[in-house]
Structures are given as C-alpha cells and as structure tokens.
Amino acid sequence: MKQITKDLNTLREDDLITIILYCLYKFTNNPEYAAISELAYTVDKDSLYRLCATYGGCTIKIPTLSEYRKILRVMLIFDFMHSDGLSFKEACDKAGVNDDDMSDITNIYSIMSDVLDSYEE
C-alpha cells in the first residue's frame, strides 16, 4: 500500500483526476461517463468540482465550437449594430458571416433579440 501511495504522489494532478473519473466510469458501467475522464485535461480541479457541484447527476450537452462561434459572431453583430449604427447586413459583413451560416446567424439573432428585449422590460 505504501508503494501505491508513493506512486500516486508522483502523478500530476490532472492524471490523478483522470484516474478518479475513469474509475467512476468503470464503477457505474455507464457509457455516458466514458469520455468524462478527459475533462481533467480540459478544466482545472476547482472548475471540475464546480461543474460537478452544479450539474452533478444531470445530462448536459456541450456546444460545438461551430455553435459557440456563431453565438459570439451574433454578439459582435449586436455590438456593430447598436454601437456603430450598422444595418444587420453591414454588421454581418463586418463580422465575417459567410453565406452558409447566414440562416443560423439570422435565427440566433432573432432569438437573442427576444432575450435581450425581455431584459429591458
């Protein structure tokens, strides 16, 4: 047992967290936990703890980078329109929106407009 403790002490913190999370996956035999051990290399231990404390037991979906970028682009469009006085089309051009994303950007903009309008009331 002393050797195991000694060996564990030589591991980096993220490696140790990975082992803990992998054991959780094996213990529960739940395929939804299969990729969770990789979180140790993505977030620090305090962030992982807060994630578990906040969402423990829940199933959440992480947005893709494409989805994330579209939301950020819409936020830029809002800024260009409201700070610089640009039209929607001008703001989209300035934000670098391509034709393939225009439908999604327009839909996200509409939803975000509704959300922001509700904050003003």
pLDDT (tens digit, 9 = 90+) per residue, 11-65?
Answer: 677 777 777 777 877 888 888 777 777 777 788 878 888 888 999 888 888 889 9
12, 31 contact by CB (below 8 A): no
Q: Domain locations in the chain?
A: 2-55, 65-120
pTM of the model: 0.64
Q: Which pLDDT score is estimated for 86? A: 96
The yes-or-no verdict on residue 101 having pLDDT over 90 is: yes
Place of tokens 């034709």: 99
Looking from the CA of 119 toward its CB, the CA atoms found within 13 Å total 5
Q: Is 78 exposed, middle or buried (0-12, 13-18, 19+ CB in 10 A)?
A: middle
